[in-house]
Structure 1
Amino acid sequence: MLNNFYDSDFTWSNAKETADVALYRSTGKYLSDIEIKLLQGSWEDKTYDDMAIIYGYSAEYLNKDVGNKLWHKLSEALEEKVTKRNFKAALRREWEKQRDSSAMEENLELQVSPSVAQLPFPESSVPPDSHFYVERNNVENLCCETIIKPGSLIRIKAPKLMGKTSLMNRIIPYAVAKNYRTVYLDLSSVQRKILTNLDQFLRWFCCMAGRQLKLENQLNDYWDGEILGSNDNCTVYFEEYLLTQIDSPVVLELDNVDKIFSYTEVTEDFFGMLRSWHEKGKISAIWKKLRLLLAHSTEVYVPLDINQSPFNAGVPVELVEFDKQQVKKLVFIHRLNWDEIQVEQLMELVGGHPFLIRLAMYEVSLRNLTLKQLLQEASTEAGIYSNHLRGYLEALQKCPKLAQAFKVVVNSPEQVELDSIQIYKLHSMGLVQRRDNHVVPRCNLYREYFQRVLV
């Protein structure tokens, strides 16, 4: 009898969309990736033990940490008690309320997506409360679970325009909600003359951290240039002043740390110091208060001792491209009436690259062009990606050997083997995907454009 109730007109797709809309209306957030997995597993009548085997999580985590929270959120969103046993019936009732398509469309326009006039141009990081922030596959949960651990270290790595800064910005409100203090420093903004002198760089580092913690500059009182080295002075300043003055944990976020990799005057000592702080956090009460979050675009080609590098410690987080489900969520947010084929056509061109995907949806949403026209013009000078592609071309033209290596990659139907430095540089630029010691173009857009211009 129960099976007859859930007849074919109410599908898993209907259930997920209904839950997404209801949760957004209630909380301002969509289902996370792990919640979608749990909801689908429950839809298929799988137990928590079954899902644990399939998804690689513990059954206790799926039950108590994910399941209980999800059923509670759905209970509030649907205004009735929702459990793993009855969620299908609850979602069906909500779906039936929304079944009138015109009413559904009006509801989405008013409550879910911003108007076309409000669409932000996708040129920088996404604010943490933005409609356009798309959660990764449990990455946010991992970062938030790690950052509350004493003395923790997180390393976020991805090519440029993949969402590293957006993820860091997402973690800051979570830390603030925990009454933590936060410091965000973008190392790409440091002046070159500061980066050629370790003492000056570490004084800048301490000064900027103190300013964000709203503490008075006391560098002259703690900096002993006659006896202590620069690293020791910086460590003393944090240990005896900054961390002592703050009662709560401090999250220190360092963005674009790869921008200083080439400054050998500071890199070895600075990164060695960060590693020592992380190690101190395992035993020292004062250093347990500090949580480190590093983001970088490239592999770490810096001559660091394996025991002195922060890049082989802590929790690594590597951002990958959006999958089809995440791209479809952006289609939904942009109010685009695309079917499965259109989503696949765009991803065939640019993969799941966050910036390239969002730029396409921005242009089509503003009705500047159709998707068909966008795809036809994409790799030409008339296309929406022309400035983006030209920037890469100018960078490659400054490095003829690298340009020649990439020319081989885009003209080969097979994956290409390059030396490690060439792979490192092309991957950090975001032009290739790595497959062991081989590479392929990151997407067909890059293949088509650079086949034409690298002559």
Structure 2
Amino acid sequence: MKQKKSEEQISCEQLDFDTVLTFVDNLIFTKIGRHLSDPEIILIKGSWDNVDYDEISAGSTYSANYLQRFVGPQLWNLISAIAGTGEKVTKKKLRNFLEKLFHNQYNSQQIEEKNLEEAPSDCSIKINGNPPTTFNFFGREQELNQIGEFIKRYKCVFLIGIAGIGKTALAAKILQQISTNSESKFDCLIWRSVVHTPTVPDLISELRQLIQPTLDSSQVEYTQAQITTLIKELQSRRCLIVLDEIDKIFQKVSFEQRLEYRLFFRRIIEEQHQSCFILTSRIFPNEFKNLIKNQRPLQYIKLKGLNKDAAMQFLLSQGLADEEQCLELIETYYGHPSELQSVVERINHFFAGSTKIFFDNKTTFISPEFQTVLDELFSKSLNQLECEIMIYLAKHITIDSELISFQKLLKHFNHNPHKNIPVSEIVEAIESLENQSLIENVTHSSSKEIHFSLQPVIKKYIFTDPLGVIRKIEPLSKISVA
């Protein structure tokens, strides 16, 4: 049996195929969480051996056309995106590209290992709790930098945005980065999901156990005394605590519990300690707006979709090949990560991974998760005026293919004798829709007038009206929305 070569031997010799195949497979799995498929392995082997598509096909169960037109372009784009060198991979360049990539990775690893040997033996910080993995994370450099600055200056930072926009992933990423940063000022990192809506005493008990597991976990009788005890621990240690899906607490708990949470966070924000909370939420709760106005140490970041570069990198990593059509997907779904993921899964499943076939039969998909959120909003959360504004925007943006100005909204809802809705109510309804990330605004560069738009996915939901909520408010004219 052949003895396995050491990495040092490999680095000094020409790579063999088994080594490079393992290297590529591990690289792809680390980045996007899947292994190479059989046709991808066959194609990498043929390209490594400089064999043409017909010869590769002859030794496999796949046609040359399938390997060349479907598997190849997606695979080259995937490897290009994951490598992140900016170099475009082709079949002819694959072997040379992978050899360079392997040696670069090997050299980087050697430097990293040397630095680790010279650094203190334990410079990483354990994350207490169970944050999600971040292996499929793209972009968000600006937001990460902004959060990095905010957590130095504020006691509480909100990450807000519509469902699936990436709030949880971003919070997990910042924890992961800080956990491996030897210069971090935090000595305790905590992740806690609050989707189960714990009471304030239960949450305090959970946090105290995560901050200092050896402490006496017996609860103090009064909630305010428990908060005082927690704040003392936040004074003695510098903790960064993520509470994921905090909006569930303010939606589901009783009025008394809301008051208790309001006081809990007010004390966390206003009293002296050296720790910081990151809270993820679909909306910025009203309870915190006055604290911002009064310049308390609280800030928020409203997340939008991925920028074009990050979204393109994500789509290429999923195997989509045509950059122009990928850009159209990004524009249609506003760079929304989970909606892009959903449409990619459907393209791969129903359209053989071909964006060309998909665009020949173009439609707008709504993921099941996003539809559930919209169902809840339209059936329970939005009032009639908010729904009417959404319907008006959906109709007129579809017809005119343009943004709708605030003046146009006023003319329809306030100056219209059939409606005559007070301006204050219109403004409050728009603010509510913006807070829930259901509409987006753009300020005109010259006139400074504000204009509003709707994501195509939300327009599609309004016109399909799966719960019949829209039809009860206003009959929709038959506008074709694929």
Same fold (TM over 0.5): yes
1:301 and 2:286 matched: yes
- What is the CA–CA distance in structure 2 between the aligned matches of 1:126 and 1:328, rounded to whole Å? 26
SS of the residue 1:138 aligns to: helix
Confirm or deny that 1:234 pairs with 2:234: no
140 and 253 in structure 1: CA distance in 2 versus 1, 3 angstrom threshold: same
Q: State yes or no: 1:260 paired with 2:252.
A: no
Deviates more, 1:331-340 or 1:209-218: 209-218
Q: CA-to-partner distance for each residue in 1:41-83, whole Å, 9 max, x for gaps?
A: xxxxxxxxxxxxxxxxxxxxxxxxxxxxxxxxxxxx99xxxxx
> Contact conserved, 1:156 with 1:316, CA < 8 A, in 2?
yes
Residue 351 of structure 1 corresponds to: 334
Q: Match of 1:209, SS? A: helix
Provide the residue aligned with 1:434 in structure 2.
Answer: 441
Cα shift readout 1:281-334 (whole Å, capped 9, x = no counterpart): 4xxxxx22x122122221332386547979x63443221211221121112211
Q: CA 1:183–1:391 in structure 2 vs 1: closer, same or farther (change >3 Å)?
A: closer
Amino acid across the alignment from 1:274: F
Q: Which moved more, 1:431-440 or 1:159-168?
A: 431-440
Greater shift, 180-189 or 325-334, is seen at 180-189
One-letter amino acid of the structure 1 residue matched with residue 284 of structure 2? E
Instruction: Summarize the Cα distance change of 1:314–1:425 in structure 2 as closer, same or farther, 3 Å threshold.
Output: closer
Equivalent residue letter for 2:95 = A
Q: Distance in 2 between matches of 1:97 and 1:449?
A: 39
Which amino acid is the alignment partner of residue 451 of structure 1?
F
8 Å CA contact retained: 1:257, 1:296: yes
Comparing 209-218 with 160-169, greater Cα deviation is found at: 209-218
Work out which of the residue numbers 153, 157, 165 in structure 2 matches 1:154. 157
Shift of 1:167: 0.8
Q: Tell me, what secondary structure is at the counterpart of 1:423?
A: helix
- Is the aligned partner of 1:389 residue 2:371? yes
**Shift in alpha-carbon separation, 1:96–1:265, aligned structure 2, 3 A:** closer
What is the CA–CA distance in structure 2 between the aligned matches of 1:408 and 1:445, rounded to whole Å? 16
Q: Among 186, 189, 196, which residue is 1:182 paired with?
A: 189
| Cα shift readout 1:219-238 (whole Å, capped 9, x = no counterpart) | 65644x4xxxx33x133211
Task: Tell me if structure 2 keeps the 8 A contact 1:275–1:308.
Answer: no
How many angstroms does 1:279 deviate by? 4.0
Query: 3-state DSSP class of the match of 1:293?
Result: strand
Q: How far apart are the structure 1 equivalents of 2:438 and 2:96?
A: 41
Selected match of 1:335 from 313, 319, 325: 319
CA distance in 1, matches of 2:190, 2:88: 48
Bigger Rg over Cα: 2
Matches within 5 A, 1:365-380: 365-366=348-349, 368-369=351-352, 370-372=354-356, 374-375=358-359, 376=361, 378-379=363-364
Alpha-carbon shift at residue 142 of structure 1 (Å): 2.8
Q: Distance in 1 between matches of 2:96 and 2:142?
A: 29
What are the Cα deviations for residues 180-231 of structure 1, in whole angstroms up to 9, with x where unaligned?
Answer: 222223333215xxxxxxxxx32112111123235257465644x4xxxx33
Q: Distance in 2 between matches of 1:303 and 1:331?
A: 37
The separation in 2 between residues aligned to 1:345 and 1:208, in whole angstroms, is: 46
Deviation string 1:160-194 (CA, Å, 9 cap, x unpaired) is 21111111111222333347222223333215xxx
- Cα distance, 1:269–1:108 mapped onto 2, change above 3 Å: farther
> For residues 210 and 259 of structure 1, do their structure 2 counterparts lie closer, same or farther at Cα, with a shift above 3 Å needed?
same
Please state if 1:363 is matched with 2:355: no
TM-score normalised over the length of structure 2: 0.56
The one-letter code sitting in structure 2 at the alignment partner of 1:180 is: D
- Structure 1 gaps of 5+ residues are 1-21, 31-76, 79-90, 112-124, 192-200, 282-286
Cα distance between partner residues in 1 of 2:213 and 2:440: 44
SS at match of 1:166: helix
1:347-406 CA distances to partner (integer Å, 9 max, x unpaired)?
Answer: 342221111112222333456554355454534xxx564674365246424457143332
Task: Pick the aligned partner of 1:447 from 442, 445, 459.
Answer: 459
Q: Deviations over 1:227-259 (max 9, x none)?
A: xxx33x13321144x447xx7421121222233
- 2:307 and 2:335 in contact (8 A); partners too: yes
**2: CA distance, partners of 1:187 / 1:174:** 22
RMSD: 4.5
Instruction: Quote the residue 1:210 is aligned against.
Output: 208
Q: Write the letter of the residue equivalent to 1:302.
A: E
Supply the distance in 2 between the matched residues of 1:384 and 1:110 (Cα, whole angstroms): 40
- Residue of structure 2 aligned with 1:134, choices 123, 131, 138: 138
Distance 1:408 1:107, change over 3 A: farther
For the 8 Å contact 1:176–1:182, the answer to whether it is kept is yes
Q: Distance in 1 between matches of 2:461 and 2:357?
A: 16
| Counterpart Cα distance in 1 of 2:318 and 2:99 | 14
Q: TM-score, normalised by structure 1?
A: 0.59
Distance 2:312 2:100 in 1: 15
CA distance in 2, matches of 1:298, 1:320: 13
Write the letter of the residue equivalent to 2:163: K
Aligned pair partner of 1:409 in 378, 393, 397: 393
Question: What letter matches 2:148 in structure 1?
Answer: C
Distance 1:313 1:296, change over 3 A: farther
Secondary structure of the residue aligned to 1:254 is: strand
Structure 1 counterpart of 2:308, one-letter code? K
Aligned-pair identity (%): 13
Cα distance in 2 between the residues matched to 1:96 and 1:182: 39
Q: Which amino acid aligns with 1:172?
A: L
Following the alignment from structure 1 to structure 2, what is the Cα–Cα distance between the partners of residues 394 and 294?
22
